[in-house]
Each structure stands twice: as structure tokens, then as C-alpha cells.
Amino acid sequence: MDGNRAALQGVAKALSKRISDGVTLGLGSGSTVAALIEELSPLVMEKSKRVRGVPTSAQIEMVASRNGITLAPFTGSVDLVIDGADQVDAGLNLIKGGGGALLREKVVMSGAKEVAIVASEEKFRERLCEDGVRVPVEVVPMARESAKVRLSMLGGVPQERLLPKGYPYFTENGNVILDTMFEPLDDPRAMEVGVKAVPGVVEVGVFTHKPIGVFKLKRDGAFELLERRE
């Protein structure tokens, strides 16, 4: 068995102990979350627990529904968010949005009582944006060019996300993504606020939400829980 998959199974067992009957989960997007739902659902269902899920993308809506999780709209709060990350720094700040669902993920996370992030160990770095990892920035189509200029003024190098055949990529909200390269971030919170202030920017893929718990998946099949309260 792949080491990450074994570690993911261990995380699923740990999370299942936190999930009581009637809990509402916020479900992030991406392949890691999809795999985690596959592992977590049987553990929850075998204990006859009723669980509702607030999906952040059509992909995860399908995965959750297929695994017996009752879908629910977001009404302002969830008990626990489970999500992945593209990069994690030493302060447990995140880059997210590789799958394009950053806006919905941040909205749901803002109303969470607890946040559990799952990421493989190769995604951990001292600072965000190391090794050329770009920050996804969701922008209304009208502002795609003006936002590029403003992001450049903030020290970024924006690149519009395209589909494989060169057509523009649109999020499920009808917006475009500017994947923006920055120098490694010494102050992720300042960058999150600064980019969000650019006219036309809907959301930025820097996540500084606290409190947070991050499950670090290791190649040998083990995992480590890292937590930060503030």
C-alpha cells in the first residue's frame, strides 16, 4: 500500500473519533479530500452516525453523495472542516486553490468550529511560496488585466490559468484565476489582506485561519498532527 494512503487511513480513523451523530462537515476540494472522504465515510456509517456535508465543489458533492453523506447548504457555520493544501508553512499558514475552489473553501472555513487540514509531507516548507509555488487569486473577468497590473505592483508575477487547449479557466463562480508567483512570504497575513484589497479580486489562496490542525502525511505510512491556536 502507498505510504500516503496508509497515513490517510490513520487520519480517517482519528477524525472519525471526533465526529458525533448529527455533525455537519465542511468538505474542501481536491484529490486528497476526495480520498479522505472515501476512507472516512465507512468508519462513520458503521457507527450509525448521521453526518451532513457542505461541499465546496461539484467534484466533492459527487464524492460525498456517493459515500452516503447527506448534502447540506451552507447556513453560516459547520462543526468541522476537512480540507487539503497546496503548501503549508512553519506557522501552519496555507496556500490553497489549486483546484479552483478557494472562494468557497474560505467561506466555509470562516464558519468552522474546527479546521482539519491534510497534506503530504512534501508540501511543507518554512515559508509559503518557496520552490515557486504560486498563489491562486480569483478575479472577476472584467478585472483580469487591471488586477494583473496591481498584483505586479505588489511584487507578484501573475499568470492567467488556462485549460489544456488554451481556453480560459473559469471557476464554478464564473471567475478567472491568476496564479501569482511571489517571493517567499515573511508575513502571509499581510499578503492575504493586501491582495484581497485589489479591486476585482474576489479571494486569494493564502489562508491564515486559526485555530487550525494540520495532519502531516508521511511516506512511511505514519502521520503527525500539528496544531496552532492563534
2 contacts: CB under 8 Å, gap ≥ 6: none
| Joined grid coordinates for residue 104 | 468557497
Q: At what angle do helices 31-45 and 3-16 cross, to 10 degrees?
A: 50
DSSP, residue by residue, 170-219:
B-TTS-EEEEEE-SPPS-HHHHHHHHHTSTTEEEESEE--SSEEEEEE-T
- Active-site residue flag, 160: no
Q: Are 201 and 147 in contact (CB under 8 A)?
A: yes
Q: Determine the number of helices (DSSP H) and then strands (DSSP E) in the chain.
A: 6, 14
Gap between the Cα atoms of 126 and 174, Å rounded: 34
Catalytic-labelled residue, pool 39, 46, 105, 224: 105
Would you tell me how many other CB atoms lie within 10 Å of the CB of residue 169?
A: 14
- Strand order of the β-sheet with 135-139 is 157-160, 176-181, 135-139, 201-204
Gap between the Cα atoms of 136 and 29, Å rounded: 14
Residues labelled as active-site residues: 105
